[in-house]
Amino acid sequence: MAVRAVIFDWGGTLTPWHTIDLEATWRGVCELHFPVAEAAGAAAAICAAEGELWRLADSSQCSATLEQLFTRAGVTVPDGFLASYFAAWDAHTLTDPDAAPLLRELRDRGIKVGVLSNTMWPRSAHERVFARDAVIDLIDGAVYSSEIPWVKPHPEAFRAAMRAVGEADPAACVFVGDRPYDDIYGAKSAGMRAVLKPNTGVPPFDGAVPDAVITRLAELPRHLDAW
């Protein structure tokens, strides 16, 4: 069946992969907004709660939000805190240079472009990144797990992404991601084709069998041609 939609993971797929010291990031933001004596403790509590929520997501496939994170950490964040937090991520969220040309090519082919991301961030934070990097107008629909009950690899997350781009048949959809379990196993279980863009540090999963493997986003069109 011809491909009518390509849906992308965000972090590590539409953005280049690299490791980030999460506690140091939280600490830097807390130091801007909390008294010196409180900043390190608040950062440690937030970072611990973040890890707990992601572990819960792994075991239950249930989503979470930043509001739930701060509640779990027992930290009340002041006005301006989230703006500082998202600004601290600016250097880590740059869109892959291959993305814009690829998304334009998909559009030219009449293929819908979607995004499905496991994230606690709100839609506004992601759209800020896409607008900053001039790709937001190339995306037909996006689903962020902070807005739905589930995370990948739950099939309902993938179905939500399909609805967001107006596609009902998973066989007409391709999912591109860097995580063998969340992205590849999840997409295949939902009936989609799946393309792996592997990154070091991402855990393997023996049950994930991608339909194609790419090292750069620019390699995707030749696989679509074969389908």
Q: What is the pLDDT of residues 162-181, one digit of tens each?
A: 999 999 999 999 999 999 99
pLDDT score of 19 more than 90: no
Q: How far apart are CA 6 and CA 197, in angstroms?
A: 14
pLDDT by residue (tens digit) across 139-163? 999 999 999 999 999 999 999 999 9
**Structure tokens of 146?**
């902070």
pLDDT by residue (tens digit) across 181-191? 999 999 999 99
Please answer whether residues 39 and 27 qualify as being in contact, where contact means their C-beta atoms are separated by less than 8 angstroms: yes
pLDDT by residue (tens digit) across 185-208? 999 999 999 999 999 888 899 989
**What confidence score (pLDDT) does residue 201 get?**
83
What are the CA-CA distances from residue 182 to residues 1, 22, 94, 95 (Å)? 24, 21, 22, 21
**Structure tokens of 45?**
């509590």
Q: How far apart are CA 136 and CA 127, in angstroms?
A: 7
**What confidence score (pLDDT) does residue 63 get?**
98
Given CA atoms 96, 100, 106, 109 in this order, what sign does their dihedral have? negative
pLDDT by residue (tens digit) across 32-81? 999 999 999 999 999 999 999 999 999 999 999 999 999 999 999 999 99
pLDDT by residue (tens digit) across 78-124? 999 999 999 999 999 999 999 999 999 999 999 999 999 999 999 99
pLDDT score of 1 more than 80: no
**What confidence score (pLDDT) does residue 125 get?**
98
Taking alpha carbons only, the member of 121, 128, 186 closest to residue 160 is 186
Q: Which amino acid is at 176?
A: V
For the residues 12-31, what does the mean pLDDT come to?
94
1 Cβ contact list (under 8 Å, min separation 6): 169, 171, 172, 227
Q: At what angle do helices 36-60 and 22-33 cross, to 10 degrees?
A: 140
